[in-house]
Amino acid sequence: MSEKVLLIDDEPEFLETMSERLRLRGMEVEACTSISEALDIMADKQFDAIFLDLQMPGTNGIDSLKMIKKLHPSLQVILLTGHASVEKGIEAMKLGAMDFIEKPADIDVLSEKVRKAQAKKMLLVEEATEERIHDILHGRAW
Amino acid sequence: MDTVNSERERLRFFGRITAAATHDLKNVLAIVNENAGLLEDLCALAERGQLTPDRLTHASGRIREQVKRGDGIMRRLNDFAHSTDHDASQVDLGEAALLASGLCNRVAKLHETSIKVEAETSTSVTASRFEVIRLVCGLIEAAVKATGTSGGVSVTTQAGPPSVAVAAPEGTSVETGPLAPLAESVGAEIVSSDPHHVAVRFSGA
């Protein structure tokens, strides 16, 4: 099953090239330049991983991360940034980011992150399903 | 509290400007990196006979564009770094306005607005070039913050008396109070005809 990726960055040229490279690696890719666009796309489609730029016009990456994790808790968010400070990295991980990577990044590293994100998301979905079945069997969901 | 003319504030300004410029440069390098990588990917496709030449041309064109963009950022940053070379010199206000606008592009983008410059390059004053740039950047930043998404900021220079004017859209109010001591230190004053229109006016050429 091909991995589904959403790229959010305010640099259209970066989005265009990164999308093309990930597609060449067999992934399904959507891209957008703002968090509001991203939320609209996420309302209709499922993704395994999101690459989110930390510094975007109108909002900051940390607030965007909070918004995404609140609406889609099992979605794996990888922050991409021009300046990866330790404090921001710790803050992002505490808020549930899967990883925090500095630009420019290696495509093989990013591809591997996407595969791990897909596996992690599947595990989370499986756990949630098992919990649901357990609740049904023990009558808590009736 | 640090005043606008303290060394701490000068250092903060230098830090803000270099942080914004280097952030933009990292973006440029990321795009160059991805396009160089894409060329390698396309070469792999060529070995399998799946490549059309226009994809190569497109990727190499994007690299050229980003090199040009990066060169512009580096030139501005270098020009700004050299603004501290002399305590006082002849400062061309048109050039200073263009440089300050370029240095403030990232902050404008983050506030979802843009800066338009109409500079008359024959107007010059004797002052510290660094402080003049800091003052004009201060005016632009104040206008950008007041503007938000409601339009663009325009920067103009005038010859008599030598001045740099910054205008935000009508209905906004540009707060420049904290910049008054900086203006005074370079022999200028901040004047305002409307809340959305401010200018730094120099006393003599």
Set of chain B residues whose Cβ sits within 8 Å of the Cβ of A84: none
Residue B155 is predicted with a pLDDT of 96
Give just the sign of the alpha carbon dihedral B137, A11, A13, B143.
Answer: negative
The values of phi and psi at residue A38, to 5°, are -60, -45
Set of chain B residues whose Cβ sits within 8 Å of the Cβ of A11: 27, 30-31
- Whether the CB-CB separation of A31 and A19 falls below 8 Å is answered with yes
B30 touches chain A (CB under 8 A): yes
- Asked if the Cβ–Cβ distance from A82 to B19 is below 8 Å, we say no
B41 touches chain A (CB under 8 A): yes
Cα separation, A15 vs A7, in Å, equals: 7
Q: What is the pLDDT of residues B173-195, one digit of tens each?
A: 999 888 999 999 999 999 998 99
Give just the sign of the alpha carbon dihedral A44, A45, A49, A55.
Answer: negative
- Asked if the Cβ–Cβ distance from B31 to A11 is below 8 Å, we say yes
Q: What is the pLDDT of residues A60-87, one digit of tens each?
A: 888 999 999 999 888 999 999 887 778 8
Cα separation, A6 vs A26, in Å, equals: 14
Residue B32 is predicted with a pLDDT of 96
Interface test with B, best of A7, A10, A20 (most B CBs within 10 A): A20
Closest Cβ–Cβ partner in A14, A16, A20 for B30: A14
Set of chain B residues whose Cβ sits within 8 Å of the Cβ of A107: 34, 37
CA angle, B196 as apex, B190 and B199 as ends, to 5°?
A: 25
Maximum Cα–Cα distance across chain A: 53
Instruction: Name the burial class of residue B72, with classes exposed (0-12), middle (13-18) and buried (19+) by CB atoms within 10 angstroms of its CB.
Output: middle
Cα separation, B203 vs B205, in Å, equals: 7
Average pLDDT of B154-173?
92
- Asked if the Cβ–Cβ distance from A14 to B149 is below 8 Å, we say no
Cα separation, A81 vs A53, in Å, equals: 6
Cα separation, A72 vs A62, in Å, equals: 15
- Asked if the Cβ–Cβ distance from A82 to B41 is below 8 Å, we say no
pLDDT band at B1 (very low <50, low <70, confident <90, very high): low
Cα separation, A33 vs B120, in Å, equals: 35
B88 touches chain A (CB under 8 A): no
Scored b (16 or more CB within 10 A) or e, A73-106 reads: eebbbbbbbbeeeeebbeebeebebbbbbbbbbe
- Whether the CB-CB separation of B56 and B42 falls below 8 Å is answered with yes
- Whether the CB-CB separation of A68 and A52 falls below 8 Å is answered with yes
Min Cα separation A63/chain B (Å): 14
Set of chain B residues whose Cβ sits within 8 Å of the Cβ of A24: 41, 45
- The continuous run of DSSP H or E covering B10 comes out as helix B7-47
ipTM over 0.85: no
Closest Cβ–Cβ partner in A21, A55, A57 for B38: A21
Dig out the tokens for B23 from the structure: 């952030």
- Asked if the Cβ–Cβ distance from A24 to B110 is below 8 Å, we say no
| Nearest residue to B141 (alpha-carbon basis) of B116, B93, B175, B172 | B175
Q: What is the pLDDT of residues B80-91, one digit of tens each?
A: 999 999 999 999
